[in-house]
Structure 1
Amino acid sequence: MSTDELLESSATRMADDRIRAFLTEQGVGTLALPDEDVPYLVPMSFGYDGESALYFAFLLFGSESRKEALSERAGSAAFLVYEARSPHEWRSVSLRGRIEAIDEDDDEDEEGGWADLREAMENAWHPDLFSSAEPMRGVHGYRFRIDEWTGIRQGGPSE
């Protein structure tokens, strides 16, 4: 293997400012919630506040939601955001933190409440499903407080 091939194929850690930029650019990832033997994984749209929290809006259908039930009893969770442009150019950020419901009765101006969720979700990716739903009907807000993160990348512009 040549030096160029080795350099192209080696992954490097992302600096904190690059992780922040990546989370701001992206809008979808995978939430992992603890569930008995195997984590429950669910793709999620998310918004990032630019500092220390992700926000989710769960669109709920029916009387029971496994995602809602697991989130309510989970003390901690994990979240993965990744982008794969090619086998030689990709980025991923793995986060660990605490997930908590945003109280529907929170004051609109309260820090970490619905106003922050709405602002953070402006850059989130949303499936067509959200556009057909009535605003805030059947929607529960959640905040994911980031305790730690790790970002790695391969290829692309150097840091």
Structure 2
Amino acid sequence: MEDLGVDVSTEMAERFLADRGHGVLSLANEGVGYGIPLSYGYDALTDRCIMQFVTGQEGRKREFLETSETVTLATYEYESDGTWQSVIATGTLRPLSNDEVADRAAAIFFSQAANADTHTRLAAEGAETEWYALEIETLVGRESATGDEPLTTLE
């Protein structure tokens, strides 16, 4: 029988989101979905995820960023023993001003985001960086269960 898992508390979901630093951001444009694997930093004080996008002049990413009203960030972990955890954050993306980036956003991103090496991110010729915040409206998490008891791996 498939393990459908159990809900986790908001606090556990927030901790997992903060610990991961990477996930898949799902965007949409006229009914077409687009998933972007990315790194992020979770700002617990303002309940948002900070993201730095590196885009080219003609990339699909820019098109989808401009047209997505509601976005979803999914992050998960699957262990070889079959245990798993996942968190889904849903909300809106908004561009960050240079002042916001300089104030705290960049520090949060670079301290928590997985694989956030600045030199590698800017190596592509003609690449531009843009900063966004995912303003979280809903946050849900689930984890695998053994019998009726939830695992404690998120604590």
TM-score calculated relative to the size of structure 1: 0.78
2:143 maps to which residue?
153
* Structure 1: runs of 5+ lacking an equivalent: 108-112
Structure with higher strand content: 2
- Quote how far apart the aligned CAs of 1:10 are: 5.6
**Is 1:79 matched with 2:79?**
no
1:100 maps to which residue?
94
- Quote how far apart the aligned CAs of 1:87 are: 5.4
Distance 2:104 2:67 in 1: 23
**Is 1:91 matched with 2:85?**
yes
1:1-159 correspondence to structure 2 within 5 Å: 9=3, 11-51=5-45, 52-61=47-56, 63-86=57-80, 88-103=82-97, 106-107=98-99, 113-114=100-101, 115-121=103-109, 122-126=111-115, 130-132=118-120, 133=122, 138-155=128-145, 156-157=151-152
Q: 2:53 corresponds to which letter in structure 1?
A: F
Could you tell which deviates more after superposition, 22-31 or 113-122?
A: 113-122
Q: Deviations over 1:1-37 (max 9, x none)?
A: 9xxxx9xx46111101111110111011000101223
**Bigger Rg, structure 1 or 2:** 1
* Structure 2: runs of 5+ lacking an equivalent: 146-150
Q: Give the RMSD, CA atoms, in angstroms.
A: 2.3
- Quote how far apart the aligned CAs of 1:126 are: 1.7
Distance 1:69 1:19 in 2: 30
Say how many residue pairs are matched: 142
TM-score calculated relative to the size of structure 2: 0.80
Distance 2:105 2:75 in 1: 18
